Structure 1
Amino acid sequence: MSTLMHKLRTGFHRDFANGPITMVFEGQPDHLVPANSSVMVESELFLMVGRMLGHCFLYGGPGFPGLSPAIRHVLCGGSMDTVQVTYEDCPNLDIRDTIQLLAENSELVGAQRDSVVRLCMAWDLPPPTQSNRAWLHDKMLMHAVLGRSDRQVKQLQKGLKETGIWPLLSSREDVVKLLFPCEKEAEITPQMILSNIRWPPLSPDSEDDDYDLSVDAIARVTTYFKNFIGQASSEQLKELLRFWVGWEVPPQKLILRVDGGRFPRALTCSETLRLPEHYTTYKEFESDLVAAVSTCDTGFGLV
């Protein structure tokens, strides 16, 4: 499920005549919109994306952060009459700049008027006049964001409905926020991880029959690990969780063990991270942990 959400954010390694990587969503953070591609629509790729989003939600996986509020509003059954569209929702900067010309008070002349007229003709809209300028501005902005993504949104809706979660999305705003959080809400903080960790005991009176490590070694390695978490960015913490438990959703219980291994290892099914006790410097510990965490997409918890 984590891989599904990662691919939706970073694109698929398929060339649909736009380059080696095909982006499913485009735009800036918290204003992502479905990519404007007739090939992707005709291949029903967005129908598949809707199914991916629905199944990830059903199984308690990570949400898809950064979607445009306007797209989210319409996608989840909101009315076109109440939707609010902003310039940031328009991923094409050239189109955005052209539409912004209509919002300015200065008269359109020369190249500026030509660019607006060309865009009007491409979208079957009348050329700008003094009387229709405000109307044309709103119409073009709405089309740039919602009109050009209408078929994509309908496919996404169909895919979500096939997974059975549509009644929740169309009636409960709290569920919508779980599936489509904003970027800030999807951040992972050090405290979210530290508060859920079950730290290894420092005494031999424990549940581990083969517990024979020194207290100093356990204390040293756990201190290194706390420092690593405290200094890590949200993206680094997400990678750590993917390595540790398989996805970037912090569980209620994260088990940490210190053992005699060579490299950091993760038992994702039991949500257990095993750290070697041989480290004597933080630099060496950090280097090995970063190397291990970077394998989360391919190594399945092993270096």
Structure 2
Amino acid sequence: MLQLIVGSNEESAALELSDCPDTDVVDVVSLLDSQRELTPEERCTVNNLAFSWDLPPINVDNRRWLAEKMQQIAVIERRRTQIKQLRRGLKDCSVFYMIKERPALAQVLFPRSAEQVMDSQTILKRIIWPMPDSDNEDDHSSVEETCLLTGFLRDYIENGSSRELNQLLKFWTGWSIPPQHLYVEVSNGITLPVASTCLTTLKLPLKCPNYHSFKVNLDASVGSTEFGFGMI
């Protein structure tokens, strides 16, 4: 992306499948990159995406070209507005020509999210924990279960590795940079943890017998999403 931001030729940009933020496009390009004969259903999936982007249907001669073209559209052409905005912003703050002349400085300005070291206190100090319902003071079991679950979450964060905490944060907020506040809710209407990324809210199921079950469920939810807004 740095090559495109500083104005290099789009044709010289080296694209990888991991650069694509759209899982449906990744699936289609993976089919095209495979060496096997596609089934009628798979060909239909490929052609549906091709037609939606005004590309020709798949045939024996254009399979490699179609994969590269779809990847270029997903990674570059659908981000063109954002690339222009980034270029304009870098020029306004007098950084554009500096990184154009010294590309190595871009690693300092734009560190990769995978290289960020996340610690438990960075997350814990931002969490707004759920408060007992003042209108339901007699429901001691609900308060006890809520306290139990928040304790499980605290243990999960305190014992998590940097990679696990980064994945949790991305699931929680859709981004790899911690916001000012992280909210936690406990709900009786769900069976697995879910996240409302726009509200930076992690919702935990009320019923959970022990920490092991809590960790298994949270790991399953966190692992169900590969991409976050931070990768788009």
TM-score, scaled relative to structure 2:
0.54
Which amino acid letter does the alignment assign opposite residue 96 of structure 2?
S
Given that residues 51 and 163 in structure 1 are in contact (C-alpha distance below 8 angstroms), is that contact kept between their aligned partners in structure 2? Answer: no
1:49 CA displacement: 5.1
* Aligned partner letter, 2:148: R
Equivalent residue, structure 2, for 1:170: 96
Q: Does residue 119 of structure 2 align to residue 189 of structure 1?
A: yes
Task: Give 5+ residue unaligned stretches, structure 1.
Answer: 1-5, 21-38, 56-158
- Counterpart-to-counterpart distance in 2, 1:243 and 1:183: 14
Match of 1:227 in 2: 155
- Contact 1:218/1:277 (CA < 8 Å) preserved in 2? yes
- Is structure 2 residue 224 aligned with structure 1 residue 286? no
How much identity, in percent, do the aligned residues show?
29
SS of 1:214 mapped into structure 2: helix
Partner-residue secondary structure (3-state), 1:164? helix
Alpha-carbon contact 1:239-1:296 (below 8 Å) kept = no
- Give the C-alpha shift of residue 259 in structure 1: 2.2
User: Do the aligned partners of 1:264 and 1:292 also contact (CA within 8 Å) in 2?
Assistant: yes
- Following the alignment from structure 1 to structure 2, what is the Cα–Cα distance between the partners of residues 52 and 186? 24
Q: Which has the larger radius of gyration?
A: 1
Deviation (angstroms), 1:172: 7.1
Instruction: Give the Cα separation in 2 of the matches to 1:9 and 1:227.
Output: 34
* In 2, Cα distance between equivalents of 1:274 and 1:183: 24
Q: How does 1:78-97 map onto structure 2 within 5 Å?
A: none
User: TM (normalized to structure 1)?
Assistant: 0.43
1:214 aligned partner, one-letter code: S
Question: Secondary structure, in 3 states, of the residue corresponding to 2:183?
Answer: strand
Change (3 A) 1:242 1:216: same
Distance in 2, Cα, partners of 1:183 & 1:269: 20
Residue-by-residue CA offset, 1:76-119 (whole Å, 9 max, x unaligned) = xxxxxxxxxxxxxxxxxxxxxxxxxxxxxxxxxxxxxxxxxxxx
Structure-1 residue corresponding to 2:225: 296
- Distance across 2 between alignment mates of 1:242 and 1:279: 23
The amino acid across from 2:121 in the alignment is: Q
- After TM superposition, the structure 1 = structure 2 runs for residues 64-103 of structure 1, keeping only pairs within 5 Å, are none
**Distance in 2 between the 1:299 and 1:45 partners?**
20
SS at the partner of 2:220? Answer: helix
Q: What are the residue-to-residue correspondences of 1:188-207 with 2, within 5 Å?
A: 188-201=118-131, 203-205=132-134
Partner of 1:253: 181
In 2 relative to 1, CA 45–298 (structure 1 residues): closer, same or farther, beyond 3 Å? Answer: closer
| Alignment of structure 1 residues 11-22 onto 2, 5 Å | 14=29
Counterpart-to-counterpart distance in 1, 2:114 and 2:184: 27
CA distance in 2, matches of 1:227, 1:291: 17
Distance 1:240 1:259, change over 3 A: same
Give the 3 Å change call, closer, same or farther, for CA 260–252 of structure 1 in structure 2.
same
The count of aligned residue pairs is: 167
Q: In structure 2, what is the equivalent of residue 84 of structure 1?
A: none
Q: Deviations over 1:166-210 (max 9, x none)?
A: 31333678x946642267862222121111100112x333xxx67
Q: For the structure 1 residues 286 and 297, does the alpha-carbon distance in structure 2 shift closer, same or farther, using more than 3 Å as the test?
A: same
Q: Distance in 2 between matches of 1:293 and 1:166?
A: 34
Give the drift of 1:277.
Answer: 2.1
Q: 1:230 and 1:54 mapped to 2: Cα distance?
A: 40
| CA positional deviation for 1:284 | 0.6
Distance of aligned partners of 1:8 and 1:193 in 2 relative to their CA distance in 1, 3 Å threshold: same
Q: 1:265 aligns with which of 177, 194, 201?
A: 194
Which deviates more from structure 2 when the two are superposed, residues 229-238 or residues 184-193?
Answer: 184-193
Q: What is the Cα deviation at residue 296 of structure 1?
A: 2.3
Q: Which amino acid aligns with 2:18?
A: K
